[in-house]
Amino acid sequence: MTQAYTPSITAAFDSGNIVTHHMGPSPDGGWRAELSIRKDKDSDFFQWFHFRVAAQPGTDLELVITGLRDSAYPEGWPGYRACVSEDRDFWGRADTSYDAAAGALTIRHQMGAGVAWFAYFAPYSMERHHDLVAEMASRPGVRHQELGLSLDGQPIDCLTMGEGPVQVWFYARQHPGESMAEWWMEGALEKLTDPADPHARLLRSKCTLHIVPNMNPDGSLRGHLRTNAAGVNLNREWHDPTPERSPEVLCVRNAMDATGVHWAMDVHGDEAIPHVFIAGFEGIPSWSDEQGVRYNRYRDLLAARTPDFQTAKGYPKAAAGRANLSMSTNQLAERFGPSHGCVSMTLEMPFKDNDDLPCPDQAWSPERSKLLAHDCVAVLAEMIAG
């Protein structure tokens, strides 16, 4: 006979984040835990969670995450369902409810095996990041460069391919908790390095592509939502990055200055809006209609190509001359617009689901993130070819 044991909860691993306040039997015969999310170091941001539960198969869990009225994006919790996996490969969604008055998220799950992982979104670990870099750097035509080091001494990896004059930059995970961004990067790199893919072949012939899969490895490893090891939001550093606060941005921006930028995409996730959308650079001082035409055409072509993308929902546009130049998309369009006609954009994917095309089992997922990347790359090829 298998001996029963007390369930345990831990987050002492790559990208782990949870604090256990109480755990014990529940009146219905299961187990209930009261939890909270640890803030980013030297910051008030918190929303990302990732933890492991070990318990007897068949155990009914009730996991209550409290204190969420003070989280970074309280509007992200209504309608949200937590990610769960028992093999760390397939990530489904758990039965989840949110009590706005109490600021408490309740996750319910019956254990199928002896261990399960729960996360705000399917994690993309630093180990998987290194595996991705190693695999892609070994593919024909791919060149690897370490652009610099993070505050914790982790490398900022860049993978470059193609020999054409059009300079394209893809970069992701300025906000480390937005792990769907690196799943997108994995999909983009798989497509771009496929020797049989016609869109990739066209882009590699006409462009030089620079891909930075993870700009914030420290926050990723530490289990942060939004900041680096110094509690700095990297996407507010692009006007004046420094070695002391934001060496991650400084080394990437310096590399961009060396190559110039014609096209750039900053890949993110949005906590509240249940749609995929793109934000542009309206409001930069040097805005040109030619930049705007190409930006709008990219959005329209992507919307026509995939039902997972739309243009009706998204962020408000900045007024003329009022763009925040500390954000990368605005900084790059302003910095390289006059010299390169730069079109830069921020791609946002949901933590929840795409409400235009919902998936009951997984909601938005790693698989959909990777497929969206394929479509984004194909549309860029169409733009370049045109």
Could you list the active site residues? 348
Reference 211, options 175, 182, 232; nearest CA is: 182
Dist. CA 377–CA 386, nearest whole Å:
14
Within 13 Å, how many C-alpha atoms sit on residue 285's CB side? 6
User: Cα 77 to chain center, whole Å?
Assistant: 17
CA geometry: angle at 103 spanning 20 and 177, to 5°? Answer: 65
Q: Find tokens 């001082």 and name the residue.
A: 285
8 A C-beta contact, residue 22 and residue 6 = no
Rounded Cα–Cα distance for residues 180 and 347 (Å) = 11
- Residue 143 has a CB neighbour count (10 Å cut-off) of 12
Asked if 298 contacts 379 with a C-beta cutoff of 8 angstroms, the reply is yes
* Distance in angstroms (rounded) separating the CA atoms of residues 55 and 342: 53
